[in-house]
Structure 1
Amino acid sequence: MLDRRLIILAAISLAAAIAFMTLGLRGNIAFVLQLRGLKLLALVQVAVSIAISTILFQTVTANRILTPSIMGLDALYLFGQTALVFLLGGLGYSNLNAGMKFSAEVLLMIALAMGLLWPLLRTRLDMNLMLLMGVTLGLLFRSLSALLSRLLDPNAFAIVQTASFANFNTLRADLTVLGTIVTLVAAVLCWRARHILDIIGLGRETAIGLGVHWTKAAAGLLLLVAVLVAVSTALVGPVAFFGLLVAALAERLMRTQRHALLLPAAALVAIIVLVGGQTLLQHGLGGASTLGVVIEFAGGLIFLMLLVLGSRK
């Protein structure tokens, strides 16, 4: 039987989607609906992928204030954008084939994740040490990005700054559909593994005692996290604190650690935040700001609140 809170969240997300598609319709209605439909699909895909990846990452690491960005994937993406602008210039960067660029970015981020996970599988590396490696690589990529940024001319630097925030305005239909397929497959895999996730959430020793091969399960889940983050980041750009925001809200609403409720709740909250936020900014505030900046600001506040509340326990 469906939880009443999930039904309410689903109704709100549906209302947000309808408002996004219908508010302010004018001109060529068919063209506008097609454009908004593509944008809505991208918003839903990014919302679901970031929400699921954050819940999985927090479950495996047993830490509710961490996000997948700690693995350095966002920093690698930003370094890649900066390096491309530095090597090709602003015009060359703008003329890159979008499909090839998307594929290269996804493969690079997955390769980084596999490089971090390989020692975990080979030598039973401690999870904390793997996370420390990710933080170190993230600092390295950010430092290299800052170095290259100082060597760019102002116009090229403006292009890099634009790529540093999530952008939901310039989307390709083929890439959005590909990202949606990957997200759907990942969501199905996560749903089938929801009971195993409940066991993993009890801790490494308890999970092993209950018959879970913790090392392989953790590595597989982290690789799935990397794929979801890579696809969504390559499609719209980095959204570091968004997952933390929706995961925290979902936990407060559901008041449970059962993944059968937590996963769909986080996905629905993420859809409400993204689709509803984009609708409000676009039609209520006249596009006065960008959604990515607002989400990062709100997510940063939630992060600080979690740190303060955690220190008082």
Structure 2
Amino acid sequence: MSRADLAVVDTAAARPNPLWSLGLLRSELVTTFRRWRTVALLGVLAAVPILVGVAVRIETRGGGQVGRGGGEGPAFITQVTNNGLFLVFTALAATLPFFLPMAVGVVAGDAVAGEADAGTLRYLLVAPAGRTRLLLAKYATTMAFCLVATLVVAASALAVGALLFPLGDLTTISGTRISFADGLGRALLIALVVAASLAGVAALGLFVSTLTNSGIAAMATTVGLVITVQILDQIPQLHALQPYFFSHYWLSFADLMRDPVYWDDLVKNLELQALYTAVFGSAAWARFTTRDVTA
């Protein structure tokens, strides 16, 4: 066999099979969701709506009104006692500033650094996946976790809301009445928007994960950056920069409960997440494809 024939055979052998790429993604999904850490994070997220629902139920048992001390808590919380479906919106508003991005930061930060720390990154790269495909599989897995985590919060809140409070037609922020089926559809759409709102955090965490061989350091750094950005987003003197922070439009999902829906901030949020994904995803790719993997 000539050298040219050998080169063709070697190139064909080195070219990843699309089915193999799907197998890589499936392996990443199974590995991530089987970890006790992932299960624990989902358990904590599922517990938040339970705590909120029980707290509202206890506070209103004697005929009191939740939030009577000045409107504390998420904007939807005063409506929970009238319709348990509002607990879904309240739980998502309560978990989005900290619990959800923290969980995503842990998963994203551990994506590459955790493999290097465990000594398995080199063996993953020996397989015919390529660094780009492996990085894409890691990001897709992180986004799958974003979706699952958001749906866990929504499902837990819906179950608790149905158990503790009445269900039925509900009043939108605009004051109009919509059916329970319409409200349920909007709740699902809100959950999807919240999951998409975490895309920037996922890309940031993946980039940080390519910078170190310590999974714990990557996770801590990502969570620390998320907290720092949200603190900066509350400082009035930085109002000119705040529209560019990935967390600035997170709570715009409330506009989906208006009639008609206000799309301006929702679109800005999705555009901002796409921008962060492009910037930090490209940075992660540039770093990972040129990285000397010795782990």
Larger proportion of helix: 1
TM-score normalised by the chain length of structure 2: 0.31
Q: What TM-score, normalized by structure 1, do the two folds share?
A: 0.30
Larger radius of gyration: 2
